[in-house]
Homo-oligomer: A and B are copies of this chain.
Amino acid sequence: MIKVYGVHGSPFVRKVLIALDIKGIPYEVVQQMPFSRDAEYLKINPLGKVPALVDDDLTLCDSKVICQYLEDAYPEVALYPKNPKERARAHWYEDLCAGRVAELASGIFFQRFMRPFILKQEADEVLVAKIIDRDLPPMLDYLESQIPADGFIFGDFMMADLSVISPFINAGYAGYQVDAARWPAVAGLIARVKQQPQVKAVLELEAKALGLG
């Protein structure tokens, strides 16, 4: 059976678990915190990040790479467009949102959720203000220009939609909400994706794992 190394609450692990659920592929989750210095895990992922996936003789890291692998190896239900230009746009949105956008959203999550509730430290509010007021708006402006006012990016619900909104789930745990007056398409997409049954199910597991249940 497929093994996914990771923990509930990671925006990257979330993508992989939801992709597996939508495709109806059985899996087990091996509890693995990110950025562990565990030498055994570093053999699986030299970056120490999560998720990693083991499928028989294949060991694979990075949520983008894993989700595209699942699409290639288990084509039903389709989670990426078949048209090369649309598929490329899906990959780019996924790369941007698993990269810079996740970095910013995770900054909010770390300062305003992990530090006060888990680490018993004060948040660095200067850093949070820079993210919210200076760094995140250009990313949201760009995403707003790419996302339709209604429905999903490529018609049906797909990885592109989930990739774009996943970082904002974590920022949401820390109290940040995308301003629906300024970025209505992004805010609307977040709301629609959260209503997808497989997304809802994984978010319920996360809420329990994070003590929000």
- Partner-B contacts on A (CB < 8 A): 42, 46-47, 55, 57-58, 60-62, 64-66, 68-69, 72-73, 84-85, 87-89, 91-92, 95-96, 99-100, 138-139, 141-142
Contact = CB atoms under 8 A, between A and B. Distances in A.
Contacts of A89: 58, 60
A68 B84 CA distance: 9
Contact of A58 (B57, B85, B141): B85
Given A60-B89, A73-B85, A100-B47, A65 B95 contact: yes
A16 to B, nearest CB: 13
B62 A95 contact: yes
Copies of this chain, complex-wide, total: 2
Interface of A is mostly: helix
Given A46-B138, A138-B42, A138-B46, A69 B88 contact: yes
11 contacts: A46-B142, A57-B85, A58-B88, A61-B95, A62-B96, A64-B91, A68-B88, A72-B84, A72-B87, A72-B88, A73-B84
Nearest to A58: B85
Nearest to A47: B100
Nearest to A143: B46
Most chain B CB inside 10 Å of its own CB: which residue of A47, A60, A73, A88: A88
B64 A88 contact: no
A91 B91 CA distance: 12
A87 B72 CA distance: 9
B47 A65 contact: no
Given A69-B84, A72-B87, A84-B73, A92 B46 contact: no
A87 to B, nearest CB: 6
Top-7 shortest CB links A-B? A69-B88, A72-B84, A46-B142, A73-B84, A65-B91, A58-B85, A65-B92
